[in-house]
């Protein structure tokens, strides 16, 4: 339903402006282009301390703090130049903290400007809270990535402490880890300290503030360290830190206390519930990081132990062969060392060197199946005996292939008797079809055989052995490696 008002009851322009003024709680001014106040309507923005009286003919910029007034002047200048509304934002510090204001400058008739000033503190505080939350989420994401990527624990803890200081606005923070062997809390990482006061910390459970946090499994908070008799204050170095407020948060993962996160500040903290919640979140992330690092360390230790056991087993097999065949005793150790040296010269990665080493140690493992009459025959083998002897590389494959961790080491036991020209055994491989590890091993095997005493001949000199290797380049041995091997042996 539309109500028609009598013409005489309609408000005039001035009454309309006054009605607008009364409808809002903002400050409103009518100024000229230079900022001289012509009219004023006081709002509810008491923090600006602008009197409702005696402001006519004064400059609006003179009523505001310097920086706010300067922005108003800049806004008036922009408005004169562009003839469109301008908007500025400024803050004012007061007893309760910081207040934010938005000022809109709108051109009016007769070259006048209407200036609205509105308190937007609540909006800015909401923006700031959202920004803080986003920053905190980003920080937690970075910590998660550090934990899952297996970065060194010290680096992860340093990252957590940096985020703790930045996002909680505290002066210093440290992490003490619980040593499970001696049940003591030991310094692991710190940030923001002026001295080395805490770097040698060793506390028993229940000792000191951090020890109490572990013992009681709850946060220990001291609003003013200077009024408490604590072990911390007994340290002359700690006294120079001038800390006041303190928190100790136990780091608990899977029900086990792993350490303590300590927070230090040199004045009183303004800790609201959001601050406290994020503190506990960071402590939780630190506990997860420590637990993950301990699990990884234990897994690595177990893996190292297992690898050591594997290698000892392999060496035991090799030793058994040496004991059986006195003629080639220590041959395996020598050819393994030579093969690894040559592989390092060719810049083969360390991960592959492990497999080359194992393959070299086990190169003759197939001979365990050779009859003694053939293996220890003092004279030349017959053609039938050679057929049996040449099966030992294939026997090695049958022995080792079921052992998964030894599969990468198979190229040497299987192919160390292959020759570059294809005349070797058991598969008659030629050239680069022969695995590189087997080609490298061939140099060590030939060289050691020639330079070792045998019942049927004396050891050759190094010069004679290297000359033989040079002569067999391209037939028995890889011609691309010959010069490298000779240079290695003569340097």
Span 165-194, mean pLDDT?
A: 87
- The domain ranges of the chain are 7-119, 127-296, 325-490
In 10 A of CB 350, how many CB atoms? 8
What's residue 18's pLDDT? Answer: 54
For residues 246 and 240, give the distance between their C-alpha atoms in angstroms, rounded to a whole number: 15
Q: How far apart are CA 73 and CA 59, in angstroms?
A: 10
Separation of first and last alpha carbons in the chain: 109
Q: Give the DSSP H or E segment for 391.
A: none
Helix (H) / strand (E) element for 249: namely strand 245-253
Closest to 201 in 3D by CA, of 158, 153, 237, 242: 237
> What are the pLDDT digits (tens) for 399-431?
888 888 889 999 999 999 999 999 999 999 999
Residue 309 CA: distances (Å) to CA of 304, 305, 316, 468: 9, 6, 10, 39
The H-assigned helical ranges of 186-272 are 208-216, 231-234, 236-241
Res 150: pLDDT? 61
CA dist 150 and 283 (Å) reads 19
pLDDT tens digit string along 88-120? 888 777 766 778 888 888 888 888 888 888 888
Identical fold between 7-119 and 127-296: yes
CATH number of 127-296: 3.30.450.40
CATH architecture of 7-119: 2-Layer Sandwich (3.30)
Q: What is the tens place of the pLDDT at every residue in 261-301?
A: 998 999 888 878 888 887 888 788 888 877 777 776 666 66
CATH 3.40.50.150 fits 325-490, yes or no: no
> Which position has the higher pLDDT, 211 or 129?
211
User: Residue 422: is the preceding peptide bond cis (ω within 30°)?
Assistant: no
């Amino acid at each position: 339903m539309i109500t028609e008002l009598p013409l005489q009851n309609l408000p005039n322009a001035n009454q309309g402006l006054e009605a607008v003024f009364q409808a809002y709680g903002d400050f409103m001014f009518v100024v000229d282009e230079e900022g001289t106040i012509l009219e004023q309507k006081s709002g509810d923005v008491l923090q600006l301390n602008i009197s409702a009286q005696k402001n006519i003919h004064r400059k609006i910029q003179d009523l505001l703090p310097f920086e706010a007034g300067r922005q108003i002047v800049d806004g008036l200048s922009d408005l004169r130049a562009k003839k469109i509304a301008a908007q500025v934002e400024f803050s004012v510090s007061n007893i309760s903290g910081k207040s934010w204001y938005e000022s809109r400058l709108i051109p009016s008739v007769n070259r006048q400007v209407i200036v609205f000033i509105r308190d937007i503190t609540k909006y800015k505080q909401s923006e700031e809270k959202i920004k803080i939350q986003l920053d905190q989420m980003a920080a937690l994401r970075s910590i998660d990535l550090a934990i899952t990527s297996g970065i060194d624990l010290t680096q992860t803890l340093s990252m957590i402490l940096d985020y703790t200081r930045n996002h909680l606005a505290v002066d210093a923070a440290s992490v003490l880890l619980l040593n499970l062997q001696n049940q003591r809390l030991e310094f692991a990482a710190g940030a923001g300290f002026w001295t080395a006061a805490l770097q040698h910390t060793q506390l028993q459970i229940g000792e000191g503030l951090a020890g109490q946090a572990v013992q009681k499994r709850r946060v220990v908070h001291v609003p003013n360290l200077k009024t408490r008799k604590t072990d911390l204050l007994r340290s002359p170095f700690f006294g120079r830190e001038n800390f006041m407020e303190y928190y100790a948060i136990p780091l608990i993962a899977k029900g086990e206390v792993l350490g303590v996160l300590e927070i230090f500040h040199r004045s009183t903290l303004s800790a609201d519930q959001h601050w406290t919640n994020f503190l506990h979140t960071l402590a939780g992330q630190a506990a997860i990081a420590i637990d993950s690092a301990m699990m990884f360390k234990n897994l690595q230790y177990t893996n190292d132990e297992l690898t050591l056991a594997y290698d000892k087993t392999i060496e035991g097999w090799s030793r058994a062969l040496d004991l059986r065949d006195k003629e080639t005793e220590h041959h395996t150790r020598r050819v393994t060392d030579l093969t690894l040296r040559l592989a390092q010269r060719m810049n083969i990665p360390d991960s592959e060197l492990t497999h080359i080493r194992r393959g070299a140690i086990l190169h003759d493992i197939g001979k365990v199946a050779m009859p003694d009459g053939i293996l220890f025959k003092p004279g030349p083998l017959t053609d039938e005996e050679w057929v049996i002897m040449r099966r030992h590389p294939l026997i090695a494959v049958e022995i080792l292939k079921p052992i998964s961790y030894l599969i990468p080491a198979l190229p040497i036991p299987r192919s160390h008797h292959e020759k570059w020209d294809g005349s070797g055994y058991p598969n008659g491989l030629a050239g680069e079809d022969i695995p590189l590890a087997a080609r490298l091993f061939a140099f060590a095997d030939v060289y050691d055989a020639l330079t070792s005493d045998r019942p049927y001949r004396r050891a050759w000199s190094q010069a004679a052995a290297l000359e033989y290797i040079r002569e067999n380049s391209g037939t028995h041995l890889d011609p691309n490696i010959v010069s490298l091997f000779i240079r290695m042996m003569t340097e």
